[in-house]
Amino acid sequence: MKLTPGNKIKNIELPAIDGTIFNSENIKGRPFMLSFFRFASCPFCNMRVNELVRRFDEFGNGFTIVAIFDSPLDNLKEHAEGHHAPFPILADEKNIYYKKYGIERSLAGVFKGMFTRIPTLMKGMAKGYLPLKIKGSLTTMPADFLVDKNGTIKEAYYGKDEGDHLPFEEVRRFSLGE
């Protein structure tokens, strides 16, 4: 079942690429974006993480991101450690939280993204984000949730294709309280 604005987030406890076990209780009282991604070698996902890392300082103090991938931890480390993200990147190999948050799968969304986002796909592949090892579901669609300091979802965005995320500027405005 999809979550909607007004819902409280469900506690998340997953392994992170830094070797720790992340628990969302540790960021209680802070606004954040919870972002669900596809498999670890997805070019679209890596381009999005690249942008979030590169522009992280635009979010201001007190805001963070929690990124969850549909991949085993070892594969996620291989593909995501190079981002040097200032936020946690987590592995949900068994799709526990994908199910709890109503994350969708769509073959049509895969084809739509492949054809409508060719420039992003090519740019990602040129940066070395090659989907050679697909460990996770190919049909997982992305989703982003903006969560306030009380743990209430303010925006629930379910991607319509494999590269469809909440626009960066909308995330930035939320992070700055605009």
The reply to whether 21 falls in a domain is: no
101 is in which domain, residue-wise? 32-175
The reply to whether 120 falls in a domain is: yes
State the 10-residue block means of pLDDT for the chain, 178 residues long.
93 95 94 94 90 94 95 90 93 95 86 74 66 75 96 96 93 92
Which tokens sit at 129? 């984000």
CA of residue 178 relative to chain centroid, distance: 22
DSSP letter at 19 equals S
Q: What is the pLDDT of residue 35?
A: 97
Please state the domain count of the chain.
1
Pairing of strands 64-69, 32-36: parallel
The reply to whether 115 falls in a domain is: yes
Q: What is the pLDDT of residue 52?
A: 97
**52 CB-side CA count, 13 A:** 31
The reply to whether 3 falls in a domain is: no
The reply to whether 17 falls in a domain is: no
The reply to whether 24 falls in a domain is: no
Q: What is the pLDDT of residue 110?
A: 75
User: For the domain that residue 118 is a member of, what is the CATH number?
Assistant: 3.40.30.10
Q: What is the pLDDT of residue 135?
A: 82
Q: What is the pLDDT of residue 125?
A: 67
The reply to whether 23 falls in a domain is: no
CA 36 → CA 32, 40, 48, 71, 98, distances in Å?
13, 11, 11, 11, 8
Strand, coil or helix: what is 69? strand
The reply to whether 19 falls in a domain is: no
Q: What is the pLDDT of residue 34?
A: 97
Q: What is the pLDDT of residue 54?
A: 94
Measured CA to CA, the distance from residue 49 to residue 65 in angstroms comes to 10
